[in-house]
Amino acid sequence: MNTTSNPRIAVVIPCFRVSAQILGVIGRIGPEVGWILVVDDACPEHTGDVVERDCHDPRVVVLRHPQNLGVGGAVMTGYAAACSLPAEAVVKLDGDGQMDPALIPRLAAPLLKGRADYVKGNRFYRVADVSGMPPVRLFGNGVLSFLTKLSSGYWQLFDPTNGFTAIHRALLAELNFEHIARRYFFESDLLYHLNQLRAVVAEMPMSASYADEPSSLKPMRMIGPFLRGNIRNFSRRLIYSYFLRGFSAASMELLIGFPLLVFGLVFGAWHWWGSVIGRVPATAGTVMLAALPIILGTQFLLSWLNFDVAAEPRHPVHATLSHRAREE
C-alpha cells in the first residue's frame, strides 16, 4: 500500500449498491489520508470491480466478502485490515456520498491530539441543521438516541445511527468483533463495547446531507430491533459495571430502588383494580403502602442515574493501550 505525505489516517468504506457514487467519494478524499480500504460487501453492482477497474489512486485497496455481512460486518473487515497499518485514526466513511470527505481531518483531530478514543458525527447539534429534517426521522432518531444513551452509558451523545466515525487504532485490538452486531445496530452496539473499555467518545457537529439516494435506514422501523438490542446491552452494562467489575453505593441504590419501585407499582395496581371491581375505596394504609415504595424507589433510581451520568469516561485510554502493545 502506498501512502501520502501524512500516513496517520486510514479510511474504511463499506460498499453495497454504491457503484455510481463510490468513485466520486474516493476522488474527494484529501492527501491527509494514507490508506483507503474499500470493502465490497457482496455488492450486486460489483462495486469492488468498478473501483479496481476505474480508480487509479495508489492508496486504495479493495477487500471482498463472498456473502453479504451487513454494514457492521463490512466495517469490521476494514478495521481488521487497518490493525496492520501504521495509521493512528481509522475513519469509517459511507460510499453513497452522504458524508463529506472534507470533514475527515476535523473528525480525526481529537484522536490525533490525544483528546478522545472515538469520534462520531452529530447532525442534530445545530438547530439550523435539524430544521430541514423530516419530523418522523427527527422523532425516530430522538428515541434511538435515548435508548443508546441508556445502554451505552454515554449520556452526552446524540445521533447514534450516524455512521461517520473515527476510532483510534489502539482500540481495535481490544474489541472482540465476534460479539459486535453486524447490521444496522453496529454503531450503537459498538458504543456499548467502547464503554466497557472506558473509552472517551466525542462528537463532531456536521450538517445532514441527503441527495437523491434513499436512505436504507428507517428510524421508525428500527425502534423495535434497536429496543431489544439496547435493553440487552443495558442489562449487561448494569451487571458488568455495577456488580462484577465494581460494587459501590450506586450498586446498592439499584438493589434497593428497583425492587421498591416494582413492589409499589404491582401492589398499588393490584389493590386499585380490587377497589374498582369491589367498588370499595382503598384505605389510607393501603395507599401509603403502595405510594411510599414508589417514592423511595424513584429517589434511589434517580440517585443512581446521577452517578451513572457522572461516571462517563473522561480520560482517553488509547495511550495506555498503545504503550501496553509496544511492551508486548
DSSP string, 168-220: EHHHHTT--GGGS--STTHHHHHHHHHHHTT--EEEEE------SSPPS--HH
Q: Around 35, how many Cα atoms within 13 Å sit in the side-chain half-sphere? A: 25
Is residue 214 scored above 70 in pLDDT? no
Q: Which grid coordinates are listed for 38?
A: 474499500
At 13 the three-state DSSP class reads strand
Dihedral angle over CA of 161, 167, 171, 176, nearest 10: 30
Full DSSP string of 223-290: HHHHHHHHHHHHHHHHHIIIIIS---HHHHHHHHHHHHHHHHHHHHHHHHHHHHHHT-PPPHHHHHHH
- Let me know: does 280 contact 306? Beta carbons within 8 Å: no
What is d(CA 100, CA 103) in angstroms, rounded to the nearest whole number? Answer: 6
- Let me know: does 52 contact 80? Beta carbons within 8 Å: no
| Mean pLDDT of the region 302-319 | 94
What is d(CA 10, CA 33) in angstroms, rounded to the nearest whole number? Answer: 6
- Let me know: does 226 contact 152? Beta carbons within 8 Å: no
Q: How confident is the model at residue 325 (pLDDT cuts 50, 70, 90)?
A: low
Share of the chain above pLDDT 70, in %: 91
Encode 210-240: b = buried (16+ Cβ within 10 Å), e = exposed: eeeeeeeeebeebbeebeebbeebbeebbee
Q: Which of 66-75, 156-165, 191-200 has the lowest mean pLDDT?
A: 156-165
The whole-model pTM stands at 0.89
Q: What is the pLDDT of residue 288?
A: 95
Q: What is the pLDDT of residue 1?
A: 44
234 or 219, greater pLDDT: 234
9-15, strands of its sheet edge to edge? 60-64, 33-40, 9-15, 89-92, 165-168, 118-122, 201-205
Q: What is the pLDDT of residue 2?
A: 45
Q: Which of 9-13, 104-108, 137-141, 143-147 has the lowest mean pLDDT?
A: 137-141
Rounded alpha-carbon distances, angstroms, from residue 35 to 58, 60, 87: 9, 6, 8
Cα 8–Cα 205–Cα 222 angle in degrees, nearest 5? 100
96 or 132, greater pLDDT: 96
Q: How confident is the model at residue 3 (pLDDT cuts 50, 70, 90)?
A: very low
What is d(CA 39, CA 72) in angstroms, rounded to the nearest whole number? Answer: 11
227 or 2, greater pLDDT: 227
1 or 122, greater pLDDT: 122
Query: What mean pLDDT value characterizes the chain?
Result: 90
Q: How confident is the model at residue 126 (pLDDT cuts 50, 70, 90)?
A: confident
Q: Which of 156-160, 207-211, 259-263 has the lowest mean pLDDT?
A: 207-211
Segment (H or E) for 53: helix 47-54
pLDDT digits (tens, 9 = 90+) for 255-268: 999 999 999 999 99
| Mean pLDDT of the region 79-107 | 95
- SS3 breakdown of the chain: % helix, strand, coil, rounded to 5? 55, 10, 35
Over its C-alpha atoms, the chain yields an Rg (Å, rounded) of 23
What is d(CA 230, CA 225) in angstroms, rounded to the nearest whole number? Answer: 9
- Let me know: does 54 contact 10? Beta carbons within 8 Å: no
Q: What is the pLDDT of residue 137?
A: 73
Q: How confident is the model at residue 45 (pLDDT cuts 50, 70, 90)?
A: very high
Q: What is the pLDDT of residue 211?
A: 52
| Mean pLDDT of the region 50-75 | 96
